[in-house]
Amino acid sequence: MIFLGIDIGTSGTKTLAIDASGKILASDIQEYPCFTPKPLWSEQEPDDWWNATVKTVNNVIKKARLKPVDVKAIGLSGQMHGSVFLDKNDKVIRRAILWNDQRTVAECHEIEKSVESFHLGTLPQGMSLELESVNGRESLIRLVANPALTGFTAPKILWLRNNEPKHFDKLRKVLLPKDEIRRRLTGEYATEVSDASGMLLLDVARRNWSTELLSALQLDIDLLGRVYESEDVTGNLTQSAAKQLGLTTDCLVVGGAGDCAAGAIGNGIVQEGILSTSIGTSGVMFVYSDEVKIDPLGRIHTFCHAVRGKWHLMGVNLSSGGSLQWFRNALCSELVAEAKKKKADVYDLLTAEAEKTPAGSEGLYFLPYLSGERTPHADPFARGCFVGLTLAHGRGHLVRSIMEGVTYSMRDSLEIFQGLNIPVKQIRASGGGSKSPFWRQIQADVFGQRVVTINSEEGPAFGVALLAAVGAGAFKNIQEACKATIKIVKETKPNPKTKKMYDKAMPVYQNLYRSLKDDFRTL
């Protein structure tokens, strides 16, 4: 029995194949462009995702020398919050608006306004949220467990209605990126609880659409697909899809998960006490919870987990590894050329310079708000900046301060989790930041806890391949699948002296945003 995991990412689509023991047999990645027609806008063509899906699946089948009948099930993951707008003929109306798009500030205010003085009954069992008064933002948190953020899907739908009414008049379905691929695979309009949580339209406590919020926003529930649990089978491949992928119509497609939950599954974050830290383009702090726990201030997300009947809390920083990538692209052209000549990774060269710099970068701080920020500020106007530059600072200081600033920003989430009495006994690192021993050490020192890595670094695609295996009956549940396939391979312990220094630096970092908040808005 072979299972595929397909991850529709922002930079490309990745497909991998695993066997029933979790062994990765082959993988493939195909990239595609992202469009920025206006500042802070971010869009993609759904056809690019589909073409990449077809190509990666075919390449994996070929690399692993699989027969069509070998593949029993497919799990889907993808970038969260994106909006695919379809007409009555299932034609894409316009480019999809992505998770990192910031155009919907007005619509976020509109959503909060629509639920001001909203009548709210008792909270669902297990949900704890203490509020002295209820305004629009707080009503929204009680309805769907989260505040309105520019990246979420619901504001994008309202933006289409407010700014492109001709397109809105054609609208019949709104799907998330991975669920548009599901539609092309199975013909079904469906999603699952983890990805749907990030649309701002799901009653997260009850794990289904919020009819109250949809009514308040005057949106038809028929715009949305059916909601499944992540391991549930949502359909089989159509004859057309099976032919394009080189598979059979007996192949199942399970719910899968949004990329954050899928990555957490791939890291084994399926029980209490384990936290996942992922540094990719964005940064994610992800912790499992048996119950619905909500930050009353809305600084972190409370979403349904890809574990049946469970939840997770998540802090997201929009430009983590993306900050270092920006620095490389904008300011290191000579070093990039040098790395190419040496056949070296330019990030290794930058890291080597950072390693020669003292912890704390000799008073230099970096605020990684190049795309605005989500956790904990929910501020699309926030901007990136270096603070504390002197003539003594060189490139190594800049690089180290970026790494430290990104890690400080992730510690913001850790402190909120701790404030909600969520136990964190172990931190598992993944993403590009986990591949650098130096950055892992910074994480251990800033977080003040040991940081471990595991045997698989395949991320969301691996996580949904495991969900596919559960859906096809290879494992009893996802906990059993993770226990059988995921092992700790490395451990990084905090340096007590450096930890003490970072503990003193952290409040300075946090205060810089408060000092600059009004200036960001003026800019």
CA atoms within 13 A on the CB side of 322: 20
Residues with catalytic roles: 259
Same-domain pairing of 298 and 204: no
CA-wise closest residue to 164 among 101, 89, 220, 104: 104
- Count, in order, helices (H) and strands (E) of the chain: 18, 24
SS3 15: strand
Mean pLDDT, rounded, for 4-33: 96
Domain residues for the domain of 429 are: 283-455+493-522
Give the pLDDT band (50/70/90) at residue 280: confident
> Are residues 248 and 316 located together in one domain of the fold?
no
Q: Which of 272-286, 382-396, 507-521 has the lowest mean pLDDT?
A: 272-286
Class of residue 124 by CB neighbours under 10 A (exposed 0-12, middle 13-18, buried 19+)? middle
Where are any strands of DSSP class E within 280-401? 283-289, 301-304, 311-317, 365-367, 385-387
- Whether residue 343 sits in one domain with residue 235: no
Q: Which residues contact 200 (CB under 8 A, 6 or more apart)?
A: 111, 140, 144, 146, 148, 149, 152, 153, 154, 155, 213
**Whether the Cβ atoms of residue 434 and residue 348 lie closer than 8 Å to each other:** no
Q: Are residues 368 and 501 in the same domain?
A: yes
In a domain, 460, yes or no: no
Q: Is residue 197 part of a domain?
A: yes
Q: How many domains does the chain have?
A: 2
Tokens of 261: 């939950």
Asked whether the CA dihedral 198, 203, 207, 209 is positive or negative, the reply is negative
Distance CA 433, CA 426 (A): 17
Query: How far is the first Cα of the chain from the last one, in angstroms, to the nearest whole number?
Result: 56
**What was the pLDDT predicted at 120?**
52
Report whether pLDDT(121) > 70.
no
Measured between alpha carbons, how far is 312 from 314 in angstroms, rounded to an integer? 6
Which of 241, 267, 293 marks a domain boundary? 267
Angle formed at CA 501 by CA 430 and CA 411, multiple of 5 degrees? 35
Q: Are residues 367 and 247 in the same domain?
A: no
Is it the case that residue 248 has pLDDT exceeding 60?
yes
Residues 94 and 42 grouped into a single domain: yes
Model confidence pLDDT, tens digit, residues 315-349: 999 899 999 999 999 999 999 999 999 999 999 99
Q: What are phi and psi of 270, to 5 degrees?
A: -130, 15
Residue 472 in any domain: the answer is no
Higher pLDDT among residues 378 and 119, named by residue:
378
Q: Residue 461: inside a domain, yes or no?
A: no
CATH number of the domain where residue 374 is located: 3.30.420.40
Q: What pLDDT shows up at residue 116? A: 86
Element (H, E) at 142: helix 136-144
Cβ atoms 397, 361 nearer than 8 A: yes
Contact present, 237 and 186 (Cβ < 8 Å): yes
Neighbours of 145 (CB within 10 A): 28
In a domain, 26, yes or no: yes
Is residue 321 within 8 Å of 283, Cβ to Cβ? yes
pLDDT at residue 129 tops 60: no
The pLDDT tens digits for 422-474 are: 999 999 998 888 889 999 999 999 999 999 999 877 889 999 999 999 999 99
- pLDDT of amino acid 132: 43
In a domain, 275, yes or no: no
What single letter denotes the amino acid at residue 318?
Answer: L
Q: Do 223 and 316 share a domain, yes or no?
A: no
